[in-house]
Amino acid sequence: MIELDGLVRRYGEREVLSDVSLSLAGGQTLVVFGCNGAGKTTLLRVLATLLRPHAGEVEVLGCRLPDDAWQVRGRIGLLGHEPLLYRELTPRENLRFHARLHGVGTERVEELLAAVGLVDRAGEPLKTLSRGMVQRVAICRAVLHDPELLLLDEPWVSLDPAARELAWPLIGAGTGPDGRRTRVISSHDPGGGLAEADLVLGLRGGRVALLREAGSVDPSEITELYR
């Protein structure tokens, strides 16, 4: 599902990801920990085909990146720091726009708006909604096309407990095609992250500092990454 071998990514002269290698099977969840600037978001953007790897091998959903990136777009959902939504448009207009880009029917938009409890506010411009509500719309956008691979950059931030409960069936474990959606999540929450993970990756300065099955990782090892 995801195979990385010696992945390197630079911004200018600075190496943001250095020699990152891992293997994640289909249906599993990889949780990435690391302090700010450790390379978590960059890793997610490389997997999403938005950034090119500068060295190493990257294979996502059986396709090599960047050469076959066009084959995996549309099979990946990305929930990043930015909602990727237009502030002047309403949640319904934003989601219908993305639905058209993915060839998805408008009934799916209504289904998702209902799922995140935003039907009543779906006709108001996004700029008038709270951050948590915008995050809910962004979650709808990320799963609109029912992607096989979901890339989530700190997805639970800005969601209150009720909103988390609403969002869980959409992006939580065991969702997606056949309940076997593969997920890569970046997190700063050792307890919550470990609970969701099959595989744990800890990044420090763009390098792999921890890579193990979640069951064998102690929360204190994750806390150590932030020291």
Are 126 and 88 in contact by the 8 Å Cβ rule? The answer is yes
Cβ nearer to other proteins, comparing 64 with 204: 64
Q: Select the span of 18-26, 29-37, 102-110, 162-170 touching other proteins (CB under 8 A).
A: 102-110
Q: Select the span of 112-120, 171-179, 198-206, 216-224 touching other proteins (CB under 8 A).
A: 171-179
Are 112 and 143 in contact by the 8 Å Cβ rule? The answer is yes
Cβ nearer to other proteins, comparing 181 with 200: 181
Cβ nearer to other proteins, comparing 97 with 168: 97
Cβ nearer to other proteins, comparing 138 with 222: 138
Are 190 and 223 in contact by the 8 Å Cβ rule? The answer is yes
Q: Is residue 100 involved in binding other proteins (CB under 8 A)?
A: yes
Nearest distance in Å: CB 27, other proteins: 13
List the x/- string, 54-93, binding to other proteins by CB under 8 A.
----------------x--xx-xxx-x-xxxxxxxx---x
Tell which residue, 22, 25, 28, has the closest CA to residue 181: 28
Cα 95 from Cα 27, distance rounded (Å)? 26
**In sequence order, which residues have a C-beta less than 8 Å from that of residue 200 and are 6 or more positions away?**
30, 31, 33, 193, 194, 210, 211, 212, 213, 214, 217, 222
Q: Is residue 3 involved in binding other proteins (CB under 8 A)?
A: no
Nearest distance in Å: CB 52, other proteins: 5
In the chain the first and final C-alpha atoms are separated, in Å, by 32
List the x/- string, 175-194, binding to other proteins by CB under 8 A.
-xxx----------------
Burial class of residue 209 (count of CB atoms within 10 Å of its CB; 0-12, 13-18, 19+):
middle
| 3-state secondary structure at position 154 | coil
Cβ nearer to other proteins, comparing 65 with 199: 65
Q: What are phi and psi of 157, to 5 degrees?
A: -60, 140
Site for other proteins in 30-59 (CB under 8 A): 48-52
Cα 70 from Cα 173, distance rounded (Å)? 27
List the x/- string, 129-168, binding to other proteins by CB under 8 A.
------------x---xx----------------------
The contact set with other proteins (CB under 8 A) reads 48-52, 70, 73-74, 76-78, 80, 82-89, 93, 97-98, 100-105, 108, 125, 141, 145-146, 176-178
